[in-house]
Amino acid sequence: MAVDVYINFNGNCREAVEFYAEVFGTEKPQIMTFGETPPDPNFTLPEEAKNLVMHTRLNISGSNVMFSDTFPGMPFVAGNNVSLVVNSKDMDEIKSLFHKLKEGGKVGMELQETFWSKLYGSVTDKFGIEWQFNHNSEEMAM
C-alpha cells in the first residue's frame, strides 16, 4: 500500500505540472483531459471542461504526486486543494479503511468501479481531511 498526494488546481493544472516537471527534472507528464475520458451517455461534458486536466502525475524524488483541475462548478479553495490517496492492490484493505474513515465523515463518492480502477471512492474524514481510495492494478493503471 502507498499513500500519495493529490493536488487540485483551478484551471491552470497543465501550466503547474509542466513547471513542476521542469523544476524537479522529471519526465514530461502524460496528461489526460476531461475531453479525453470515455463518453457517458447520461452526462454531456460542458465545453469549458474539455481541455481541463482530469489527471496527470509526476514522480518527484520517489514520491507519486498527482494533479488535476477542478471540474467546472466544483468548489476550489486555494490551500485546501490537497488530498491523500491510498493506492492498494488489496480490495479488502481499501474497503476496511474507507468504512473506518467515513465514520463521522462525509462520503464524496462511494466505492465503485471506474474506467481507471476496479475500486475507487473518496471520503472526507471527521477531521476534514479528504481521502481517495484506488485499487492499484496493472491492467487499469493510468
The tens digit of pLDDT for each residue in 114-141 reads 999 999 999 988 877 789 999 987 655 4
Banded model confidence at residue 89, pLDDT cuts 50, 70, 90: very high
Q: What is the DSSP letter of 70?
A: P
Q: Taking a C-beta distance cutoff of 8 angstroms, is the pair 12, 81 a contact?
A: no
Predicted model pTM: 0.74
Strand pairing report for 106-112 and 82-88: unpaired
* Domain 5-69, CATH among 3.30.470.20, 3.40.1280.10, 3.10.180.10, 3.80.10.10: 3.10.180.10
Report the distance separating Cα 65 and Cα 59, nearest Å: 6
Q: Taking a C-beta distance cutoff of 8 angstroms, is the pair 81, 7 a contact?
A: yes
Q: What is the DSSP letter of 33?
A: E
Degrees, nearest 5: CA angle 114-4-113 = 10
Average pLDDT over the chain, rounded to whole? 90
Look at 91 and 2; give whichever has higher pLDDT: 91
Cell numbers for 17:
505540472
What architecture is the 84-135 domain classified under in CATH?
A: 2-Layer Sandwich (3.30)
Q: What is the pLDDT of residues 54-80, one digit of tens each?
A: 999 999 888 899 999 999 988 888 777
Q: Domain spans of the chain?
A: 5-69, 84-135
3 state DSSP class of 129: coil
Beta bridge partners of 7: 67, 82
